[in-house]
Structure 1
Amino acid sequence: MFDQFLDAVRLAPVDATIGLSGGEPLLHKKRLFEFLVKAQNHRPDLRFHILTNGQHLLAEDEAHLRYLDMTSILWGIPIYAAEGEIHDRIVGKVGAFSILQENLARLGRTGAAIELRTVVMQSNIDHLERLGEYITLNQPFAQVWAIMQLENIGYARMNWTKEFSDTSLSFEGVSQAINISLGKGLATALYNFPLCSVPEAYRRYCVASISDWKQKFLATCENCSLKSKCTGFFEWYPEERGFKKIIAQ
């Protein structure tokens, strides 16, 4: 539906940011690149945020990327651990970490701004500090590191009991990672973390990241003084199997 997407871009508000996700946008590379070139020609005021797993770029794609105004595109790409075995196991693809390293460098060479995205899970909570070290040492093209709480949908819904990490009870794995990344000068943000689940010293990094159409608050939140600044919870958040320490502030 790229023709329809282009119509939507033409009608978008001035200076809007357009999000592209999926599925996987880079499975449609040719049409995606053509769409972006046309969109940037028609609406140079717009910015784009493209979510991709970073697995489908090839050397020949660099030429197409250089046709784009990379200053108006933020590429959101997941990375789950600094250890290839752990990252590959989480994404379910052998060799994914190696391909990701190549394609992050490929994007960086073309001037891309990169948002690295890490979902916190039981599988990687004890490895976040090491990941912070890896990113700050080996990913110079990263513009921001988004550390994200788990959303109970898709893969996570099937594996919630196994993978949900209750950071309201223990935030140490996340705080160590934040300390490293900020100490090395990398902007860091917390997505999908209710404010009361985060120690006060780290709440400044929380982003109200949940869209209003899939956001809810709990009965506990009714009289919370931080409610207007809080991201809240996903509509499909399972309260009985979620954070154990949700307290109105």
Structure 2
Amino acid sequence: MTEQEACIRTRAVYRRFEKKEVLHGIDLEVKRHEIFGLLGPSGSGKTTLVKLVAGIDEATSGEVDVLGTRMPKLSMMKRIGYMAQSDAMYEELTAKENLEFFGALFGLHGGRLKQRIEAVMELVQLKEALTRPVGAYSGGMKRRLSLAIALMHEPELLILDEPTVGIDPVLRKSIWDELGRLSQQGTTILVTTHVMDEAEKCHRLGMIREGRLIAVGTPEALKQETGSASLEEAFLYYGGVRS
């Protein structure tokens, strides 16, 4: 894969926290404009890896390059949209005030800011709750607002860590439909999940277990290579569990 084709490159990436090694030599390439899924159980290292890609954390050793730039680098935040597992918003402010605050951080002002607020709140179906304090939102509504904030500045790379947890199936489908449209329009999307039907919607997957990347490929190829009827069976196969 050439530099022009790759959006994300990691080389021999390790991450240690005190005596615990969480990531073990991750080599990964994500193409521009694709939806790439990191599939693995809780505690497998998915969140740690996407934080390194987003520039929120730094590898103990190894290299992380995003859009041709060595990470972490503060100036890259305007090119990246990041939705964490935990919702980071000002609960005493309304959704509109949160969106105005984060939009301004990304350089949005005036009519452009207003336009983007309307567009993202329409997408996550929260327009009627725009002036409500975030502290009064349900958990699912907060997840939807977090996604809206990540999309505000139309980033080149969108990083979503378990984005649909607590979201109803109908809205989950509409969000994935939108991710497909964003990808077609040129956005690269890196998403973590442990939900198999969401993993099927990704162009390619990286299966991660105990901090190691155990397989990479399209959902169909991963199933075919292992003779599996499902991604769950394929994951167990690559993880060394044989039936």
Higher relative contact order (CA 8 A, sep 6+): 2
Normalised by the length of structure 1, the TM-score is: 0.35
Q: Which has the higher helix share?
A: 1
Q: Which has the higher strand share?
A: 2
Normalised by the length of structure 2, the TM-score is: 0.36
